[in-house]
Amino acid sequence: MLGTLIVSCPDRPGLVAALAQFLTAHGANILHAEQHRDTTSGLFFQRMQFEMARMDPDRTRLNRELGELARQYEMTWRLHASGDFTRVAIFVSKMDHCLYDLILRQKEGELRCEIPLVVSNHPDLQRVAEYFGIEFRCIPVPEGNHAAVEPQQFELLQSRNIGLVVLARYMQILSPQFVRKYSERIINIHHSFLPAFAGGRPYHQAMERGVKLIGATSHYVTEQLDEGPIIEQDVVRVSHREEIKDLVARGRDVEKTVLARAVKAHLEHRVVVCGRKTIVFS
């Protein structure tokens, strides 16, 4: 079993050694450590992976002493064990490319998660979910009033013990309350290279502007639409020959790849939010 400890705190000398010593004293064998200093905020970030075989299986003492260390260094921390698989809900509308892609990667073992739930505002993708043995819930959304269905969605997420919501081309805007409840636990895919072409119909905007590359951006959802911390982006080359339908087709490939990489990084506890930005450890 592997453990992953992610900490952040104001930078000061000796942090790397102090944390290494702390984990080793608790029986951990550190395999990887990666650090980052954010020059703007003066914050230090570290992600450590360690073998837990010789550690006390009861993590009570570890947690208590981590808490003490954290107070001493004004540290924020998260501890994950490799056995704790995140349970993911995928929200979709009618497009199936990201849905298939995520499910197939999970089946191949590329994504460290379970996918027990698909939620949609349309019935179209019920058959896909069921083919893969995943519960499908169709919750139609009254136009312009997503908040109306959120209590029902929230209850569903709670009862299914969902730890991550992936908006896989879910063409709806969540309310600020919903976003706050799942802060840093909702990942969206936007079909443009943000901040270019935020808002609606980005492929039409790209066509109109005559760009030579189109892109996709995966980010945590925040209360400001299309403004959340970016986790992953990529682009693909297009030419004057491509019409809208071709951009949409080329875009599908980059959308699903970018979303899968962002979800994978999140599930491996490699993403840390730092203000408007993310640190994505390798």
Q: Which residues bind a copy of itself (CB under 8 A)?
A: 13-17, 20-21, 23-24, 29-39, 51, 54, 96-97, 100, 104, 108, 110, 131, 193-197, 208-213, 215, 229-235, 239-241, 243, 249, 252-253, 257, 274-280, 282
User: Closest Cα to residue 162, out of 223, 118, 110?
Assistant: 118
Residue tagged 């570890």 (tokens): 62
* Least Å from the CB of residue 16 to a copy of itself: 4
Min CB(246)–a copy of itself separation in Å: 9
Q: Which residue number, 22 or 154, has a Cβ lying nearer to a copy of itself?
A: 22
User: Which CB sits closer to a copy of itself, 213 or 225?
Assistant: 213
11, 226, 234, 253: which one is catalytic?
226
58 is catalytic: no
User: Order of strands, edge to edge, in the sheet holding 230-237?
Assistant: 135-138, 113-120, 86-92, 164-167, 186-190, 213-220, 230-237
Least distance (Å) between residue 65 CB and a copy of itself: 16
Strand residues in 52-197 grouped as ranges (E): 76-81, 86-92, 113-120, 135-138, 164-167, 186-190
* Nearest residue (CB) to a copy of itself, 164 versus 279: 279
Per the CB < 8 A criterion, the answer to whether 50 and 28 are in contact is yes
Pick 153 or 188: Cβ nearer a copy of itself: 188
Which residue's CB is nearer to a copy of itself, number 135 or number 253?
Answer: 253
CA distances to 84, 151, 249 from 167, in Å: 22, 17, 19
Burial 16-44 (b: 16+ CB within 10 A, else e): eeebbebbeebebeeeebebeebeeeebb
The two tokens of residue 272 are 């840390």
Q: Report, in Å, the least distance between residue 100 CB and a copy of itself.
A: 6
Minimum distance from CB of 102 to a copy of itself (Å)?
Answer: 13
Among all residues, which ones are annotated catalytic? 226
